[in-house]
């Protein structure tokens, strides 16, 4: 079920998602460096160090953008644009979920 979120601007959401993924990417890159240098004794060149970080940040940006667009499209699909209340499609999904819950738990 989709809940109405607070009115956070799309740009701020994108920034938060991107920062979360960027931090995860940098942490993973650090672990890879430690593993390559100290466990496998493979010397890292600057290109081998920078390329995965840039690729990870680009991938993180794209993932954040996809997540934001998915949320916007879901909101558009389930709400009326004029009144901003849930439409019949949302009610149908909600009703199906409730019928399944009643069948499962009585």
Tens of pLDDT along the chain (106 residues)?
Answer: 444 455 667 677 777 777 777 777 777 777 777 777 777 777 777 776 777 778 777 877 788 788 888 888 888 888 888 888 888 888 888 888 899 999 999 7
Residue 32 resides in a domain: yes
In a domain, 34, yes or no: yes
Could you identify the residue written with the tokens 């959401």?
13
- Domain assignment present for residue 3? The answer is no
CB 25 within 8 A of CB 55: no
Residue 93 lies in a domain: yes
CA 93 and chain centroid, separation: 23
User: Could you give the C-alpha distances from 106 to 32, 51, 82, 96, 102, in angstroms and in order?
Assistant: 51, 56, 38, 15, 5
Residue 2 inside a domain? The answer is no
Residue 1 lies in a domain: no
- Find the domain containing 20 and state its range: 10-105
Q: How many domains does the chain have?
A: 1
Residue 69 lies in a domain: yes
- The pair of structure tokens assigned to 104 is 């499962």
């Amino acid at each position: 079920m989709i809940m109405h979120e607070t009115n956070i601007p799309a740009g701020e959401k994108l920034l938060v998602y991107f920062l979360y993924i960027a931090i995860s990417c940098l942490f993973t890159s650090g672990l890879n460096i430690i593993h390559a240098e100290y466990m496998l004794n493979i010397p890292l060149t600057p290109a081998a160090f920078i390329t995965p970080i840039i690729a990870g940040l680009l991938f993180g940006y794209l993932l954040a953008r996809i997540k934001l667009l998915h949320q916007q499209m879901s909101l558009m699909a389930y709400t009326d644009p004029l009144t901003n209340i849930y439409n019949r499609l949302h009610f149908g999904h909600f009703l199906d979920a409730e019928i399944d819950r009643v069948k499962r738990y009585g």
